[in-house]
Structure 1
């Protein structure tokens, strides 16, 4: 069984299902990317995995344990870290206070983890006493990812981490995401920048109307003529 195994997920908001038997798996140290057109159910799939969306059918297991019935808070305690697309920092708090908030469940000394975050994102060390609301969009994303890493997650979930940032900042964020995966953390990411995301993906999922349309390695999906023509602009 895969480290994360989200199987046959069916569910939505109210009476309408958005996901239809959607399958997503991720292994430790792997980067899995969910791409697809607007309205395909990408972020909904992420929320379902995190427990923010109740499933009518299907199951979610993490490290061999069934977590389908757990709340998002319980899933964080089990080793999930989630970075939403928007409103993902406490703007009135300093960078350091944001990171400390990420360690709220921990009862041990988390200073070494904070140092690891500062090593991963050196600009955050420089701006540690600055309110997060004063940072650029790319720097805020670094704070949001850093705060999630403070929970010491086994699985890090990122919803559109490069939304609204420049191409240079996007490349830097992707480089840092690769570094995180190399430490053995599983990464599950939703991305609009499909071509760039698939370029770093070990596994890629193309969703269309809440269903798995294509599943393969990132490299194979980039080479697939039908995927290129339909989803990557040729």
Structure 2
């Protein structure tokens, strides 16, 4: 069984119409799974469904074999999920270090070694540790946001558009760091608009269309699929 197994997810926001239709997502231990697709395909909605942020009318979410479908997002964090939203993902008036400390809110042990690990993973975060997070560049803010999520010591890290609005050089650096995180055994589920680049680092890829699974395969196989290339990757 996959470490994360989300099956037959059907639902939407509140009493609104269904956005997801029998959506299936799974991630193995230490695997990078990437969700791509056109605008409005339900990519971020699928991520939020896994994290318990919308109503599922059907389907189930299991983490490490445990059914967590009925748990709140806060309870899922305690079970080992870390979530980095696309926007409003830092505390801009707090220092970088204080942002990381906020990520350790569920812990009652010594979290200093984890802060050191984040500094090692993101040298720019260490260099800016005493600055207000709101003064950082877009790429540096994303590093702080990911670092704060890592402070919870997640088993599954979910990233919603981590490279939105950053330069290609910063995007490549972020992807390199994400690969390093996965190598530690943390599972990664990521929504990404830069589909081609994301699939290059993906063990598994999901192409969504109108809230449904259109294609599922390894990142390498999806990049080589002529139909996927023509329809979603610009040829």
| Category of TM-score, reference length = shorter chain | over 0.9
* Distance of 2:16 and 2:40 partners within structure 1: 17
Cα deviation, residue 121, structure 1: 0.2
Q: What do the CA deviations read for 1:92-117 (whole angstroms, capped 9, x no partner)?
A: 00000000000000000000000000
SS at match of 2:19: strand
Could you list the runs of 4 or more consecutive aligned residues of structure 1 that deviate by over 2 angstroms after TM superposition? Answer: none
Cα deviation, residue 54, structure 1: 1.4
Task: State the superposition RMSD in angstroms.
Answer: 0.4
1:206 aligns with 2:207: yes
1:58 aligns with 2:59: yes
* Distance of 2:123 and 2:186 partners within structure 1: 20
Structure 2, gaps ≥5 residues long: none
* Distance of 2:55 and 2:66 partners within structure 1: 18
Q: What do the CA deviations read for 1:186-222 (whole angstroms, capped 9, x no partner)?
A: 0000000000000000000000000000000000000
Q: Look up the match of 1:90.
A: 91
1:24 aligns with 2:25: yes
Alignment of 1:40-55 (within 5 A): 40-55=41-56
Q: Look up the match of 1:232.
A: 233
Q: Look up the match of 2:191.
A: 190
SS at match of 1:34: strand
Q: What do the CA deviations read for 1:120-147 (whole angstroms, capped 9, x no partner)?
A: 0011111100000000000000000000
Q: Look up the match of 1:153.
A: 154
Q: Look up the match of 1:74.
A: 75
What TM-score, normalized to structure 1? 1.00
SS at match of 2:56: coil
SS at match of 1:152: coil
What TM-score, normalized to structure 2? 0.99
Structure 1, gaps ≥5 residues long: none
Cα deviation, residue 15, structure 1: 2.9
Q: What do the CA deviations read for 1:131-185 (whole angstroms, capped 9, x no partner)?
A: 0000000000000000000000000000000000000000000000000000000
